[in-house]
Structure 1
Amino acid sequence: MKLLLIRHGQSQADLLEVHEGRADFPLTELGIEQATKLANHIAAHYKIEAIITSPLQRAYQTADIIREYCPCELITVEHLMEYNNGVLAGMSRKEALIKYPLPEGGRPMHIAIEGGESQLQFRYRMEYVWQSILHNYGHLQQIAIVAHGGTLQHLLNVLLGKTLEQQCFFDTGDTGLHVIELRDGKKYVSCLNSQAHLTSFSGCSNTR
């Protein structure tokens, strides 16, 4: 199985300087353009058989644009939503610093912010998502998963077998593309956070 892990395009929250998380903002015009360029790239270099997406607007819109160029089944999975940031969702970053400052040393992984989930709960949710994807779609050869920066951060660590204590931190830009292939009991990483599709050249293109 080849997995294309994709972050959504630019959303309106990026321009408003607010915490996004579960706040449900749509793509900007630039975000739509980014998603269209990514869709063209995927259509030219991959043969995806299903697109699995978070239901939040910014991810679903990105996935739907990809489907226009790569006709296949579009599946919405609620557990792929971004980190549940509770009371911070939609709040300006300046206001959040005053009302809900981070504890010294950061928030412990097992403690959730008010109305939200802890990083431990978030990680477990990604473990569950991955096992359910394997169970339901493991027979397919190429799958695209469209989600969010935090979601992909945990999902990549799940795929690479890293515990929370061992976790790596993966930057994922607007429509950033990670490609991992599961073959012969091993995991092959083709690229991480490729945004070559947003420039005049194209990279990370292996149709195998």
Structure 2
Amino acid sequence: MLELLVVRHGQSVADIENRFEGRADFELTALGIEQATCAAQFIKNYYQPHFIISSPLKRARKTAEIIAAACEVEVVFEEEIMEWNNGLLAGLPREEGNRKFPMPPGGRRPYDTFADTESYIQFRARAETFLSKLADQYSETDKRICMVSHGEFINMLFRSFLRLPINMDISIASGDTGIHLWKMAGDQREIIFANYQEHLRDIL
């Protein structure tokens, strides 16, 4: 059975500046580095992975490198698990982005690419592709893989994992270095826990 330890990156500069992040490549803050260090120690103590797959964006990359150093494992960087491509919104202050690129009347459709963004259909296909490849390669093995990614991608992967329709308004919370544990064996899929953040209790 494959265990997938899903980790969101730590706090980034965009978080404290209230900016749209997405593909904007912001660094972790000092607090984000501390959060990643706490997550790394927790993972080393209780959920030692065989290796780590990480988004190459700086906030995820740094989080993954901190976990890898603590666990003494390899990191593989995978563009398929980068955050949603938010096009022209990337890096804008939220107030400015909402003013320049308001939501289309009636809300975003699954095929919408307004503001040069990735459509939800494209985003779901990316998550499905990653998950399918992972399942084909590892779901019949006894491995624990740590994946370090982003809130929106984790949400889309969660929907893919549970085979939920693309237009369902169901999400899973992922706080700074929130940790999820999912298991896969063939067609069997289990969620063991979600958004664990007790490793942060001494620094919140």
- Give a deviation string over 1:165-189, Cα, whole Å, max 9, x none: 3462111100001101224742222
Q: How does 1:197-208 map to 2 (within 5 A)?
A: 197-200=199-202
Q: How does 1:60-139 map to 2 (within 5 A)?
A: 60-138=61-139, 139=141
Structure 1 distance, partners of 2:64, 2:112, is: 32
Structure 2 distance, partners of 1:98, 1:199, is: 37
Number of residue pairs the alignment of both structures matches: 200
Contact residue 79 and residue 129 of structure 1 kept, 8 A: yes
Q: Tell me, which stretches of 5 or more residues in structure 1 are unaligned?
A: 201-208
Query: What's the C-alpha RMSD, in Å, of the aligned pairs?
Result: 1.5
Q: Give the partner amino acid of 1:3.
A: L
Q: For residue 50 of structure 1, report the CA deviation from its aligned partner.
A: 1.0
Q: Which residue of structure 2 aligns with residue 163 of structure 1?
A: 165
Q: Which residue of structure 2 aligns with residue 11 of structure 1?
A: 12
1:144 aligned counterpart, secondary structure: strand
Structure 1 stretches of 4+ with a deviation exceeding 3 A read 135-140
Contact residue 13 and residue 29 of structure 2 kept, 8 A: yes
- Give a deviation string over 1:43-62, Cα, whole Å, max 9, x none: 00012101000000000100
Structure 2 distance, partners of 1:42, 1:97, is: 38
- After TM superposition, the structure 1 stretch with the greater mean CA deviation from structure 2, 96-105 or 53-62, is 96-105
1:47 aligned counterpart, secondary structure: coil
Q: Tell me, which stretches of 5 or more residues in structure 2 are unaligned?
A: none
Q: Give the partner amino acid of 2:126.
A: R
Task: Give the TM-score of the pair, scaled to structure 1.
Answer: 0.91
Q: For residue 33 of structure 1, report the CA deviation from its aligned partner.
A: 0.3
Task: Give the TM-score of the pair, scaled to structure 2.
Answer: 0.93
Q: For residue 115 of structure 1, report the CA deviation from its aligned partner.
A: 2.2
